[in-house]
Structures are given as C-alpha cells and as structure tokens.
Amino acid sequence: NEEIYPEIEKVFSGVKRYFVNNEPDYTEPPQLSKRLEMENERIKLAHAALSYRSVSINDPSLYALDVLATILASGEGSILTKELRDNKKLAYFISCYNSTLRRNGLFFISFIAESGNVALAISEILKILEGIKKDGVARADLEKAKKMAAVDFLESLQTAQGRGMDLISSEALTNDYNFSQKYLERLNSVSTEDIKTAAGIYLDESKLNVALIMPEGFGSENETPVGGKMENNVRNITHQALPSGVRVIICEDHSLPICTISAMFLGGVRFESKDCNGISNLASRLMLDGTSERNEEEIKAAIESLGGSIHSISGMNSFGITLNFASSDWKNALEILSDVIKHPVFDEIKIDKEKALALAAIKERDDSIVEYGLLLFRENFFKDSPYSRPVLGHAETVEAINKDGILNYYDSFTQPSLMVITATGDIDKEAFIAEVKKEFGSAKQADTKLPDIPVSLNAKTRDDIKSSMEREQSIILIGFPAVKITDPDRYAFEVIDSIMSGSDGRLFNNVRSRLGVSYSLGSIFMPGVDPGCHIFYVITSAKNISVAKDAILKEIKRLKTESIPEKELDAAKRYLIAKNITDIEENASINLKMALDELYGLGYNNFETYKDKISAITPGQIKRVTNQYFNTDDRLIVTIYGKEGNGE
C-alpha cells in the first residue's frame, strides 16, 4: 500500500472529480405479458433462451435466485441437466444463471436441442419451475448448491485481476468494496422457503420472455415451439352441462390471483316485441338494484369487499351479469351472482330510476348523427325483424314498460336451458363446478316456449332513405345483407371488413387520403343469431356527399370484380388473427367470448380455431361472397344531411 498509493496519486492527481446530476433513468417499464421472438438461421440445432426479470444487486432476493440458478443447471447432478438431458433426452446442453446489475437483472435458462424437442423442453422447464414455486427444493440440493456457488465465487478471486475486478465492481455497483464477504454470508443463510418465495415472485410465467434461433424452414407453417401453436390460444378449458340444463365453462389460468365469473342468457333485443323494446336492458340493470336478500347498497358493498366489480350486460341477442374479483373470494362472488339472478325484486322505485337513466341515454343517442344514422339504417333495412330495434329502446316504449312486463320477460329468459355460466382465471374447476351445482343444479325448467323470430330483410324492395340534422357533418351509410354468426362465410366478411377498414384500409387510402372528402369512414360487419348486415359509411360535409358516395361504391365494385392481391389479403388476415389474440387476453374478455359463442351455437371453444378459419380465406372466396351479397338490388343507402344540405 505504501508503494502503490504514491504512484496512484501521481497518475490521477490531475483528474477532477465530478458527479452526474441528471443520471438517465434506465428503468424498464412493467412487462404485462409473455413475449416470444424467433429467428431462423443456417444452423442444424435450435438455440433457446428463457428469461425473467430479476433483481438488482442490492435486492435481498439476489441470494435465493443465485442459489436457485445453481440448483437448476450447475453440475452433472443439477435438476435441469438430469431431467432434460439425461432422463428425457430433450436437450444436449442446458445452463442457468441470475444476472444482477445496479438497477435490475435477468434470470436466464438456455439450452441447445433438436428443433422438434424445443416445445417439449420448454414445457418441461416450466413444469419444474412451477413445482419449485409450490414445494421449494430438496434440502440436499440446497446445501450442495450453496457450496458450489461459494466455491465458484471464491475461485474468481484467485487472481489479482479477479480480486481487483471484484473490488471495483462491488464499489461501483453497491458502494461497498467489501460486498463479497457479505455476499458469502448471506448466500449461506438462504433457506428452501427463501427460494420458494423468490421463485414465486420473479419466475412468473405470464411475464416469460422466450428467444429462439431455429434452423431454416422451421416455422414456415406458422409453427410456434412454445406450448404448441400459441396463436390458436389453446387453453385449459372444461365444459359441463348440469342436469338442470345450465352449461358451465371453466378456463383455468393461475398466472394471476384474479378471476371473472359471468352468467349469460339467450335473450336481448331479438326476443323483444315492438311495444316492449328496451325491456332487456332494463331487466339486466335491475338485477343489480336489489334482491330479497340484499338491497342495492349491500350488493355494491359486498362486491367491493371482494376488491371486485359487477356489471350488467344487454345486447341484441343476450343479456346477463359479469363479476371481476380476487380469486381467493370466488365462493362469495358466486353466491352474490346466484343471489342477483335468483332473487331480484324489481322494485317500482328502482324501475323508475332505471327508466329515467335509459331515457337520458336515448336522448344522448339521438343527438349523435352516427347513432341516429345506424338506427335509421337498421329500421329500414330489417323492417319487422327485432334487429331493426335499438338496445336502449325508444322513449315511448321505455315509458310504457311496467313491472309485470319486466317480470314476465325475466322469468321467460332466465331458464336453465338458456343459461351459460363461465369462470376464467385462478380457480379450481372441480371445486367451482361443485359450487355451481349447489347454486343452480336443482333449477327447474319452466314450460316456456320461445317466441318465433320474424326475419325480414325486405330484400329487393328498398328505397334510399334521406334525412337531415342540425349538425356540421353529414353521413352516408351503404349496407348489404350478411350472414348469421354461425355461417362459415362470416370469416370472409371479417376479412372484407379488415381490407376496407382502418388507417391502412382501402376506404382510408382511396377515399379519405386521395380525395380528402371524409372526416371519418369505415366498414361495420354486424352478424347475428339471425342474418345480419354489412355497412360501409363515411362522415363528410354536405357538399361532398355525392363524391364520397360514388367513391365508396367504386371500392365495393372493386371487391366484386378484382382479385385481392395476396399481400393485401395476408395483411388483413394477420391483423384479424393478432386482434383475436389481444381481444381475449383478459379474463373478462375470454369469459364473455366463451359464454356468447356457446349461447349462439358456435361452441365455447370456437376461438381456438379462429386463426385457421381466417387463414383459409382465399381471394376466390372474397370475390364469391361479395358477388353473392353486395348486390345493387339488395342494398340500402341512408344519407343524413347536415347543415346546408338538401335532405328531406
């Protein structure tokens, strides 16, 4: 020391010390979902890496994660080496380490394998990690790993260079040059419970990152080596029909301690008469306004005590209730759901309250030129069909609805055979089904015959509709007949909708960008349990109505006469497939999707085949569907003129 300090002072005495006052923040934003990146190279074996966000070098969990990395893949007797390489022959080489830096780190597992074994290897790794999160590690493995980690660390200090690097990195990263000594002491204190806790916190499969370098040709058929074909959203789903007729669907997902439960019924506007339009919306809202067991305030308090929320749903073809909550309280949530379904009181005061809210919403709807245009279109397109009516109803129909009418409607459509209960999230399927049987298993089917539904599209007799509003904008809607939601042609309609809509769609590029005659425009595909419609619309100025209408009709004609280029078709299909995945990432979304698909006859797991059905659409199918449905005799054009227009 006496010799080196003077020499250091000579070299560095002229260097001025300074501090960075505005050090950049390199903190990564929270990761919200699983990520996968794959590339193909001219190699013969697959290289895979799994990583999770880990901790900084100053975090107490550092020591447990370091020991776990050693247990998993250090030495011939390590867990992953034995299981993946020796026992199951899934990998040739496997490693694991916990990389910690000043702010955060990464927990890595990497391996080399035959491309055909990658999916199974990843599945096995995740299974092993889940076991550790649940049960911890064996005492013998823990003690062996502690010694191995300590020896590895001490071996790095054998050389002067190693000791110097240790001192400087410890000081730079932890402000403590003596960090190494403390590291060894804390490493030795790690328990199996510490490892279990750290693994549960940081090795969260929902936030897994997977990077793959695969041999050329792998993935050419949209193959994904993580849990099979991830794009198809294959999940752990159970379906069971109770003797009462109630269908129960459970989708287990234990990545987060949350859950969604829904109860949906076939009904909605489709089963409303012209005189009681809006009754389904009122009935569904009143379910939450009090039961014979709880008043409205008690229902809200009970849900809030679960850290959750409860909502009513009413649409064209169905209505129901959905709850979101912490999964530990699922039994209480199911009991509340059962109460609001089985014991609603439909109090006169609450009916008046909900009618007042509905009437206010109707006024707001009728003030919108878009909502008014869609309603005017449906009224003239569907004529006598219930699809001509709005979900909220009209002011005169809502005002005429009374308690007896609500009770009759509710009793008719809350029958077991018309009911689907879905649960998605951190929930045990067997326990849930057992509780549903207690709540709904003995429900009796009433002798109620569903009314016949008039399906009137008024084909080939439509006259263009013109109207006006005191608005700055005008709107044109051009619509054609479409199919039922169960018709295989619906997927071609969805692709057409994707081709025409969005900022990259034909309407935007060829009408808005090129002609500059629209404020907004798009395509709306509206299938139903009965045949629906497909609408093209443009919001424009009164003076540009004729130009905008002709431009849309020109684009529709192109669909019928020109073959869709493969590149454009592929882009439209990729968008739909990606949207389908993101639309059902949340529990509430997939919960409602499964319930409605089951009610409407598609089957609860229809979403699993969506990618294949969209991918199969060809240019020939697009041309066939457009020529079959987008005909001049069948179309309806609704024009609403704004200020300075010439509407009648």
pLDDT of residue 76: 74
Specify the higher pLDDT residue, 520 or 452: 520
pLDDT of residue 122: 93
pLDDT class of 164 with cuts at 50, 70, 90: confident
pLDDT class of 229 with cuts at 50, 70, 90: very low
Phi, psi of 566 (to 5 degrees): -55, -40
pLDDT of residue 1: 58
What would the two tokens of residue 121 be? 């290897």
pLDDT class of 32 with cuts at 50, 70, 90: low
pLDDT of residue 222: 42
pLDDT score of 227 more than 50:
no
- Identify the helix (H) or strand (E) that includes residue 53: strand 46-53
pLDDT of residue 172: 65
Q: Report the percentage of the chain scoring pLDDT > 70.
A: 86
3-class state of residue 220 by DSSP? coil
Strand partners, 258: 326
pLDDT tens figures, 533-574:
999 999 998 889 999 999 999 999 999 999 999 989 988 998
pLDDT of residue 155: 58
pLDDT of residue 220: 47
pLDDT score of 156 more than 80:
no
pLDDT of residue 29: 65
Specify the higher pLDDT residue, 143 or 337: 337
Residues 47, 363: Cα–Cα separation, whole Å: 61
pLDDT of residue 60: 85
3-class state of residue 108 by DSSP? strand
What average pLDDT is seen over the chain?
A: 86
Mean pLDDT of 580-590: 82
Strand partners, 344: 291
pLDDT of residue 151: 64
Residues 320, 312: Cα–Cα separation, whole Å: 6
pLDDT of residue 493: 97
Phi, psi of 254 (to 5 degrees): -95, 20
- Bridging pattern class, strands 636-641 and 465-468: parallel
First to last CA, the chain: 99
Specify the higher pLDDT residue, 454 or 146: 146
Nearest CA-CA partner of 320 in 362, 251, 263, 373: 263
pLDDT score of 37 more than 60:
yes
- Of the listed ranges 121-130, 408-417, 639-648, the least confidently predicted one is 639-648
pLDDT of residue 166: 74
Residues 76, 93: Cα–Cα separation, whole Å: 11
Specify the higher pLDDT residue, 556 or 30: 556
pLDDT class of 520 with cuts at 50, 70, 90: confident
pLDDT of residue 159: 65
Residues 241, 278: Cα–Cα separation, whole Å: 31
Q: What single DSSP character describes residue 180?
A: H
pLDDT tens figures, 277-322:
999 999 999 999 999 999 998 998 888 788 788 999 999 999 999 9
pLDDT of residue 388: 94
Nearest CA-CA partner of 564 in 636, 515, 625: 625
pLDDT score of 147 more than 80:
no
pLDDT score of 230 more than 50:
no
pLDDT class of 232 with cuts at 50, 70, 90: very low
> Long-range contacts made by residues 403-411, C-beta under 8 angstroms, separation at least 24?
403/346, 403/348, 403/351, 405/276, 405/279, 406/279, 406/282, 406/283, 406/286, 406/346, 406/351, 407/346, 409/267, 409/271, 409/272, 409/276, 409/279, 409/280, 409/283, 410/283, 410/344, 410/346, 411/446, 411/448
pLDDT score of 487 more than 90:
yes
Mean pLDDT of 326-339: 92
pLDDT score of 647 more than 60:
no
pLDDT score of 154 more than 80:
no
Specify the higher pLDDT residue, 43 or 346: 346
Q: Are 391 and 269 in contact (CB under 8 A)?
A: yes
Residue 74 exposed, middle or buried by CB count within 10 Å (0-12, 13-18, 19+): buried
> What is the amino acid identity at position 367?
D
pLDDT score of 600 more than 80:
yes
